[in-house]
Amino acid sequence: MVKHMIPKNLEEAILSLNQDDYQVIAGGTDLMIQKRNDADLAPLFKTNMIYAFNLDELKYVIKEKDRIRIGSMTSLETLLYHPDVPQLLKDVIIEVASPGIRNVATLAGNIANASPAGDTLVVLYLMDAMVVLSSLGKERHLPIEKVILGPRKTSINKNELITEIIIPNNNFTKASWVKVGGRRADAISKVSFVGAITIDQDMVVDFRIALGAVFATVVRNKELENLYKNISVEILKNNIIHILNQYQDLIKPIDDQRSNKTYRNRVALNLIEDFIRKI
């Protein structure tokens, strides 16, 4: 018999996860689709479920000196209108689904769902986000790339709940997000891109690129980015062909119902080129 549990508070949620096998449900905007049933029948859950979306203790945005902390049950729509949320994250969220979905969808759900096309993941990778995983008497703080291991695969233990997402302050000179989908709203990305650069007196201080839906996980390579720091913007631009070749080696898009690998490959490289040329 499948159990469902609506914890009164975070303590009860963590205790329950420790005592029994549960799957967490937050907004349910991925899970309700994944567990869909025959027409006219309610979704079919075969595992015990713990409903976390009404945990008010996990609904917050706290701005600190060098980072912001986001409670894991804060809806995407709340983040969209919160003054302390970085504009770059808002640029991404406004293109996720539609307001109705965003009213309940969460960053934590996007992370734990670990889809190669998860939109917020691309910007969370770019901004070096940390994920806080809480279990009974323990807290793990992991960089997002250590949480997401592959399509639908994470390092989240069964007794853990994502309780917080931490985003360091970034002061990019220019940052840009591009989502390529089939339509303007309610579209899953065919390819997504975020680029960011910090320039001081014509020198590149920081250079970051992250790509979604062109590999099993978000593509971000810090070693490659480091090669293009502490050089002039002009030298960066002169290296475009070289940079594109390097990213070509990192991306391995697939064919699926939304797009094909030839298109994804070309578009991903075009987006990198366009970002650099417009600096």
Q: For ligand FAD, which is the closer residue by CB, 28 or 253? A: 28
Rounded to the nearest whole angstrom, what is the least distance from the CB of residue 190 to ligand FAD in the complex? 11
CA distances 68 to 64, 85, 109, 202, Å, are 6, 8, 19, 29
- Which residues bind to ligand FAD, rule: CB under 6 A? 23-31, 33, 52, 72, 96-97, 101, 104-106, 108-110, 112-113, 118-119, 156, 161-162, 186, 188
Rounded to the nearest whole angstrom, what is the least distance from the CB of residue 43 to ligand FAD in the complex? 11
Rounded distance between C-alpha atoms, residue 120 and residue 96, angstroms: 8
Rounded to the nearest whole angstrom, what is the least distance from the CB of residue 263 to ligand FAD in the complex? 18
Rounded to the nearest whole angstrom, what is the least distance from the CB of residue 144 to ligand FAD in the complex? 13
Rounded distance between C-alpha atoms, residue 194 and residue 174, angstroms: 11
* Residues 30 and 109: beta-carbon distance below 8 Å: yes
Rounded to the nearest whole angstrom, what is the least distance from the CB of residue 93 to ligand FAD in the complex? 9
Q: For ligand FAD, which is the closer residue by CB, 140 or 229? A: 140
Rounded to the nearest whole angstrom, what is the least distance from the CB of residue 13 to ligand FAD in the complex? 9
Burial class (CB in 10 A: 0-12, 13-18, 19+), 110: buried
Q: What sign does the CA torsion over 135, 51, 61, 124 have?
A: positive
Q: Which amino acid is at 152?
A: R
For 85, other C-beta atoms within 10 Å of its C-beta total 19
Q: Which helix (H) or strand (E) holds 56?
A: none
| Residue with nearest beta carbon to ligand FAD | 109
Q: For ligand FAD, which is the closer residue by CB, 59 or 261? A: 59
> CA torsion angle for 245, 149, 66, 276 (degrees, to 10)?
20
* Residues 147 and 141: beta-carbon distance below 8 Å: no
Q: What sign does the CA torsion over 89, 92, 94, 98 have?
A: negative
In this structure, the strands spanning 67-71 and 161-168 are antiparallel
Q: For ligand FAD, which is the closer residue by CB, 120 or 236? A: 120
Q: For ligand FAD, which is the closer residue by CB, 192 or 197? A: 192
Place of tokens 């720091």: 229
Q: For ligand FAD, which is the closer residue by CB, 107 or 269? A: 107
Q: For ligand FAD, which is the closer residue by CB, 118 or 195? A: 118
Rounded to the nearest whole angstrom, what is the least distance from the CB of residue 2 to ligand FAD in the complex? 14
Rounded to the nearest whole angstrom, what is the least distance from the CB of residue 160 to ligand FAD in the complex? 7
Q: For ligand FAD, which is the closer residue by CB, 7 or 27? A: 27
Rounded distance between C-alpha atoms, residue 224 and residue 209, angstroms: 10
